[in-house]
Amino acid sequence: MTRPTDHVRVAVLGAGFAGLAAATHLDGAGVDVTVLEARDRVGGRVWSQRLETPFGSSVVERGAEFVLDGYDLFREIATSLGLRLVDSGMSYYVRELAEHPDITTDLVAEAGTRAARLARTMPAGSSVLDVLGRLGWLDVDPVLVEALRSRVEVSNAVDASEVAASALDHAASFEPLPSHRVDGGNQRLALGLAARLGDRVRLGQVVRAVVARDGGALVRTEDDEAWLDHVVVALPLSLVRDRDLVELPTTPARERALARLAQGHAAKLHLPLAATPATSAVLSVPCRFWTWTAVDATGGVAPVLNGFMGSTAALDRLEVATSGRRWARSAKALRADLTFADAEPLVSTWRDDPWARGAYASPSPSAVADELALLEEPIAGVHFAGEYAEPEHTGLMEGALRSGRRAAQRILAAVTDQN
């Protein structure tokens, strides 16, 4: 018996979570799908690696790490691949302020809840900075206001003036909810999905152009071109926005929506420890980075200090793009409670990564929900997916997976309609 999907050919551009979620869903429905990926690995901004420590090697995440509350599709896919999630033993949501020992995490949480409430009363177009300004007028301790600003700038990886006030609902969540990671590294999710597709995932394929035509689309790579029935563009925001990097079909409405997003910049730091620590999470308010120690798959706390820095200004201040040494010194000073091994810091930057050109997106103050909904709108046979395009989990692994799956569902609906 023939199925409507028989002989339907789809190319998925990008083997990050969005692309792989789209491709495996299409493959499961019988579509002839090929994934074109520029790098020599799958996973995109999810990249797990082994780091040597005095106690043996430990898996660290050079990109996305925390599997958070509400990651339903992530959990569904992990289960289907037989992957186990490990509780990190600390909470992504609660960070001590070592520089201000008198300010407890409860005080920060209280101020955060107040800020989120205030944000809901602010006029459209307000930024987090606007909300925090008002909070200052309400006699909230300036140290608390600055701590909230730091928290938002770290999490969104942009200045508070570039973040929509509504982000306070997510960024300023201070409930001590658990945070997880995939046993053996989050990249295993990408590797597991790619294994289902086998040699239909083609690495080292740099896409240069996509041309939409009624009834299909043309994809041009550096050394080939092909006509497809549908194409899923699952590339990062910075590449999608820059026509000099990849030529893509667009519309004025899509351009307006793309302009409503802020591109965040962030980096990660990993420092091996010479003594096993307890779990911890500590924010540096002035330097806009936080550090943590967490349980890994062994069931013990990994002998590694992890760090995440967000926003261009913070990265530039500590010259993270040229060397991680200043950041490592600053992190060691913040975490004087830990014993560090004599090892070079492992620093991962994403702004200078040619296939990411940034960390992740967040809605800017000018963002309008109806406009953002257009980011996934197909243009003829060309569909769009990625963390930037998903309204509820923008910037996150869960957003990338959901957006990818939705692109696949749209294609399947279009194919069924045609038959």
Which residues ranging from 193 to 232 are in contact with ligand FAD (CB under 6 A)?
A: 205-207
Which residues ranging from 256 to 285 are in contact with ligand FAD (CB under 6 A)?
A: 266, 268
| Nearest in space to 99 (alpha carbons), one of 331, 275, 347, 341 | 331
**CB of 361 vs ligand FAD, minimal distance in Å:** 8
Element (H, E) at 190: helix 187-197
- Please state, as a whole number, how many other Cβ atoms lie within 10 Å of the Cβ of residue 87: 13
Structure tokens at 265: 């910049």
**CB of 275 vs ligand FAD, minimal distance in Å:** 26
Question: Own/partner pairs for 328-335, CB < 8 Å, 24+ apart?
Answer: 328/269, 328/271, 330/284, 330/287, 330/289, 331/269, 331/271, 331/284, 331/289, 331/291, 331/305, 331/307, 332/271, 334/98, 334/99, 334/282, 334/284, 334/287, 334/291, 335/98, 335/280, 335/282, 335/291, 335/305
The site that binds ligand FAD (CB under 6 A) totals a number of residues, namely 40
**CB of 254 vs ligand FAD, minimal distance in Å:** 17
Q: Is 23 helix (H, G, I), strand (E, B) or coil?
A: helix
| Nearest in space to 176 (alpha carbons), one of 248, 97, 235, 96 | 96
Listed in order, strand segments (DSSP E) in 355-399 are 361-363, 382-384
- Please state, as a whole number, how many other Cβ atoms lie within 10 Å of the Cβ of residue 202: 15
Report the largest interatomic distance among the alpha carbons of the chain, rounded to a whole angstrom: 72
By C-beta, is 140 or 191 nearer to ligand FAD? 191
From the list 89, 185, 192, 236, which residue makes contact with ligand FAD (rule: CB under 6 A)? 236
Q: List, in sequence order, every residue forming a beta bridge with 230; answer none if it has no partner.
A: 10
**CB of 359 vs ligand FAD, minimal distance in Å:** 4
**CB of 320 vs ligand FAD, minimal distance in Å:** 11
Q: Does 315 bind ligand FAD (CB under 6 A)?
A: no
From the list 45, 149, 288, 410, which residue makes contact with ligand FAD (rule: CB under 6 A)? 45
By C-beta, is 37 or 229 nearer to ligand FAD? 37
Q: Does 38 bind ligand FAD (CB under 6 A)?
A: yes
From the list 5, 8, 11, 39, which residue makes contact with ligand FAD (rule: CB under 6 A)? 39
Structure tokens at 324: 């991680």
In degrees, rounded to 5, the angle at the alpha carbon of residue 331 between the alpha carbons of residues 325 and 337 is 135
Q: Does 382 bind ligand FAD (CB under 6 A)?
A: no
Site string for ligand FAD, 79-118 (x = CB under 6 A): ----------------------------------------
By C-beta, is 53 or 238 nearer to ligand FAD? 238
**CB of 145 vs ligand FAD, minimal distance in Å:** 25
Q: How big is the chain, counted in residues?
A: 419
Q: Does 289 bind ligand FAD (CB under 6 A)?
A: no
Please say whether the beta carbons of 346 and 270 come within 8 A.
Answer: yes
From the list 12, 17, 328, 362, which residue makes contact with ligand FAD (rule: CB under 6 A)? 17
By C-beta, is 44 or 381 nearer to ligand FAD? 44
**CB of 107 vs ligand FAD, minimal distance in Å:** 25
By C-beta, is 41 or 213 nearer to ligand FAD? 41
Residues within the interface to ligand FAD (CB under 6 A): 13-19, 36-39, 44-46, 63-66, 205-207, 234-236, 239, 246, 266, 268, 350, 355-356, 359-360, 386-387, 395-398, 400
